[in-house]
Amino acid sequence: MDDKIRGFTLFKKTREIDSKITEFLNNISEGGLLFERAVDLYLADGFTDEFNKKRQEVSAFEVRNDQLRRDIESQLYEHTLLPDSRADVLLLLEGVDRTINKYESALFMYSNEKPIIPDVFDAAFKELVETVVDCVEALVVSARSFFAMNGEIENSLHKVMFFEKQADQQGTTLKSAIFDNPELELAHKLQLKFFEQAIEEISDIAEDVADSLTVMAVKRSF
């Protein structure tokens, strides 16, 4: 049996690590849903206790994932997973974790700056957030497929790329609408652009991780 395949097979049988990776990925998925709900709340009512509660829940997932990632790294060194495979696993987890970090930092921006977002842009912001969360979820599904070795990774990786392109198009359209609006001062336009970019960047991170995951999957096939 190929050494890389044997390494990943042994890794799959390490139940404690497998359980922690499952929790780690679940937290990314739930963090995305909370992020989307938090932005919806902000667009509807501005900064509220309910919005702040969702922000804190995302932060709690981010803190928990940092601990899980450290635990997984420690346990990987204790088991016989081959160094090359171990490095791929840690690189993947670190990359995926960057998405929830960006969820958290974007919500902190809303919390700290409390931007006034005109109602005319609500639908576009909601559409962008939904696409970005879908992009990250496709990445989570790809990661699950990678660890499960179920051969379904190609389809989910394709979805990451699809949603990233959608987010890019939606972001460009939103920025154009912001700067074409004659009722806004330039400083307000620049602030809204900054918030749009903070959201769109999440899908860019997902795309970068998907590119790395594609290489990992190819390496494992040999």
Each residue of 28-82: pLDDT tens digit?
A: 999 999 999 999 999 999 999 999 999 999 999 999 999 999 999 888 877 655 6
Model pLDDT, residue 214: 92
* Non-local CB neighbours of 92 within 8 Å, separated by 6+ positions: 143, 146, 209, 212, 213, 216
pLDDT tens per residue, range 102-160: 999 999 999 999 999 999 999 999 999 999 999 999 999 999 999 887 767 988 999 99
Expressed as residue numbers, the domain containing 86 is 3-221
Model pLDDT, residue 134: 98
* Non-local CB neighbours of 36 within 8 Å, separated by 6+ positions: 129, 130, 133
Q: For residue 151, is it left (φ>0), alpha (ψ between -120 and 50) or beta?
A: left
Q: Mean per-residue pLDDT for 205-218?
A: 93
What's the CATH code of the domain at 107? 1.20.58.220
Number of domains in the chain: 1
pLDDT tens per residue, range 161-178: 999 999 999 999 999 999
pLDDT tens per residue, range 82-103: 666 778 888 999 999 999 999 9
What's the angle, vertex CA 127, arms to CA 168 and CA 153, rounded to 5? 65
**199 touches 129 (CB < 8 A):** yes
pTM: 0.90
DSSP for residue 72: H
CA–centroid distance for 41 within its chain: 20
What is the number of residues in the chain? 222
Please tell me the distance from the alpha carbon of residue 56 to that of residue 105, in angstroms, as a whole number.
11
Please tell me the distance from the alpha carbon of residue 205 to that of residue 98, in angstroms, as a whole number.
7
Give the residue with greater pLDDT, 107 vs 17: 107
**114 touches 97 (CB < 8 A):** no
**33 touches 126 (CB < 8 A):** no
**Dihedral of alpha carbons 42, 44, 49, 53, sign:** negative
Radius of gyration of the chain, Cα coordinates, nearest whole angstrom: 19
**26 touches 140 (CB < 8 A):** no
What's the angle, vertex CA 136, arms to CA 86 and CA 91, rounded to 5? 15
